[in-house]
Amino acid sequence: MITREIPSGQSIIASTPVPNRTCDVEHRPPRKSRQATQANPTITLIAALLGFFAITLDAVVVNVALPSIRNDIGGGMTGLQWVVDGYTLMFAALLLSAGSLSDRLGAKRAFGAGVMMFVVASLACGLAPSQPTLVAARLLQGAAAAVIMPSSMALIGEAYPDPVRRARAIALWAMGGAVASTSGTVLGGVLAMISWRWIFLINIPIGAMTLILLTRTAPSPRRPAPFDWIGQITGILAMSGLVYGAIEAGAAGFEAPDVRTAFAVAILGLSAFLAAQKRGSHPMMPLDLFRNRNVVISMAVGFAFMVGYFGLPFVMSLYLQQMRDLTSLQTGLTFLPMMLIGLILTPFSARIVERLGARTPITTGLVSMVAGLVILAFAPASAPVWVLSALMLFVGLTGPLVAPPITAVLLNSVPSDRTGTASGIYNTSRQIGGALAIAVFGALLANEATFMQGTRTSLLIAAAVALGTAAASPFLRERRASERIDR
C-alpha cells in the first residue's frame, strides 16, 4: 500500500507541548533548543556529505599519485592495481553487511564508527613504510568506507522523510562526491609533488569535523537481527577471487594455476553466497528485493557508472604520465573540466528530475558517457592534451545526470525499513564495477608494448557496459514525488 512516511529520529521534547508549569517554562527552553538543534536535518546532511566526500576523495586522489608511490616504495603495475583495488575490494565486499549493520545498529552509530576507523586507516596509509603495509592500510580504509556509505544514505533517508525534500538532499549529498572528484585529481597532483603521503593524511581533519557534527544529529532507530556470517564470508570469497584473478591474469596470464584457482574460488563463493541468501532467515542481500524492476536496473546502472567514471581516470592518468610525460599536477588539471561540469550541474539534478522525471536524465547521462569513451578511444595519439580534456566532459556529464536520480529512484522504491540494506546492495554493485574496471584495465595495460592498444580496449569495454545499461534505463518505473512504496 502507499503511505506517507513519518519523520524518524524526531525529538520528543522538541515535538511535544511543554507542560503548563511556570518553573518548567522558565528553566527548560535551553534544553528544548538543544534537542531541536540535534534534530536539525541540515546538520545531518552536512555530516553525511563530509563522510561521502572523504571516501570519494580517497577513491579518486590516489590515481594521479600512482607513479609517485611506485617511485617511492616500488611495485609494478600489479602493485599499483592493489593500491587502488585494495580499497575498492573491501569497500565492495563489506557493503552488503554494512547496509544491514546500518539498519541494526542505527545509522548514526554505524556512521560514527566508520568515520573513526577511516581516520585511523588514513593515518596508517600516510605513514606506510612499504607497499604491503600500504595495501593493508588501504584494505582497512575500504572496510571503513563500506560502513560510511550506506549509513550516510540512511541518515539522509531518516532526516528527510518527504520524497521531494529527500531527492533535493540527495542531490546536495552527491555534491560531496562531486567536490571530491573535482578537487581530488588536482589536489592529488599538488600533494604528490610534495609527498604522496599527504593524500591520505588530509582525511584526518575532515574526519574530525564530521564527528563533531555527528554529535549534534538526531539518534537513529535500531532494528536488531542476527548477522549473516555465512553470507559475508562467501561474499568476500567470491569478490576477492574474482578481483584477484583479474589482476593477476594481467601479469601471469589466464593459464596460471593461481589465476585459475582464484576464479574457481569466485564461482564456488558466489554459488554458496546465493544459496545462503535464499535459505537464510536473515540474509544480508534479501533476494526478494530483486523482484523490483527499479532495484535491478539501479544495480546495473550503478555498476556501469563506476566502470566508466572510475575506470577512465585510472587509464588516462597512466596514459598521460607514461605516454605524454605530464607531471602529476598537469595530469590532475587535465581532469579538471570533467570534474567541474559535475560540480556545477549536481545542485540542479533534483530540479531536472522534477521537471523531466528520472528516466530522461539517467538515459541521457549514460549515452553521453558512451559517446565520450568511444571518441576518446579513437582519438589519435597526437591529439593535443586540451582536446582530450575537452572530450572527457562527455563522461563528466554522467555524474550529475545519473548518480543522484538513480539513488533517489532506488530509495523511493523500497520500504523505509530496508533503505540501509538496499543502499548497501546498490553501492556494492558500484564498487564491484570500480574494482573490476581497475583489475581488467590494469591487466590490459600491464604490457608496455601494447599499452596504447590496451588503453583503447579499456575505453571501449567501458563504453559497451554503459551502452547496455542505457538501453535498460528507459524501463525504470517512476513514482509520483509525494508517494513512497511501503509493504
Question: What is the per-residue pLDDT across 152-190, written as a single tens digit (0 to 9) for each?
Answer: 878 887 788 777 787 778 777 877 776 777 677 778 888
pTM, to two decimals: 0.73
Flag the least confident range among 103-112, 132-141, 214-223. Answer: 214-223
Count other C-beta atoms under 10 Å from residue 296's C-beta: 15
Q: Is the pLDDT of residue 28 over 50?
A: no
Q: Is the pLDDT of residue 327 over 80?
A: yes
Average pLDDT score over the chain:
80
Q: Is the pLDDT of residue 23 over 50?
A: no
Q: Element (H or E) spanning 308, and its range?
A: helix 293-322
Q: Round to whole Å and give the CA distance between 296 and 302.
A: 10
Mean pLDDT of the 186-206 span: 86
Mean pLDDT of the 125-137 span: 88
The ranges assigned to domains in the chain are 35-213+284-475, 229-279
pLDDT at 457: 93
Q: How confident is the model at residue 469 (pLDDT cuts 50, 70, 90)?
A: very high
- What are the grid coordinates assigned to 179, written together? 567536490
Flag the least confident range among 65-74, 196-205, 295-304, 399-408. Answer: 65-74
Q: Is the pLDDT of residue 14 over 70?
A: no
Q: What share of the chain is helix, strand, coil (3-state, %, to 5)?
A: 80, 0, 20
Q: Round to whole Å and give the CA distance between 94 and 92.
A: 6
Count other C-beta atoms under 10 Å from residue 123's C-beta: 16
Q: Is the pLDDT of residue 10 over 90?
A: no
Q: How confident is the model at residue 225 (pLDDT cuts 50, 70, 90)?
A: low
Q: What is the pLDDT of residues 397-413, one digit of tens each?
A: 888 899 888 888 888 88
Q: What is the DSSP letter of 372?
A: H
Question: Is there a contact between 226 and 101 (Cβ–Cβ < 8 Å)?
Answer: no
Q: Is the pLDDT of residue 24 over 50?
A: no
Mean pLDDT of the 373-387 span: 91
Q: Round to whole Å and give the CA distance between 14 and 37.
A: 9
Question: Is there a contact between 417 and 147 (Cβ–Cβ < 8 Å)?
Answer: no
Which residues contact residue 26 at a Cβ distance below 8 angstroms, ignoring those fewer than 6 apart? none
Q: How confident is the model at residue 304 (pLDDT cuts 50, 70, 90)?
A: very high
Say which amino acid occupies 133. T
Considering the segment(s) 35-213+284-475 as one domain, its CATH architecture is Up-down Bundle (1.20)
Mean pLDDT of the 264-273 span: 92
- What are the grid coordinates assigned to 175, written together? 555534491
Q: What is the pLDDT of residues 308-325, one digit of tens each?
A: 988 898 899 888 988 888
Q: Is the pLDDT of residue 388 over 90?
A: yes
Mean pLDDT of the 284-300 span: 87
pLDDT at 352: 84
- Evaluate the CA torsion angle 95, 100, 101, 107 in order and state its sign: positive
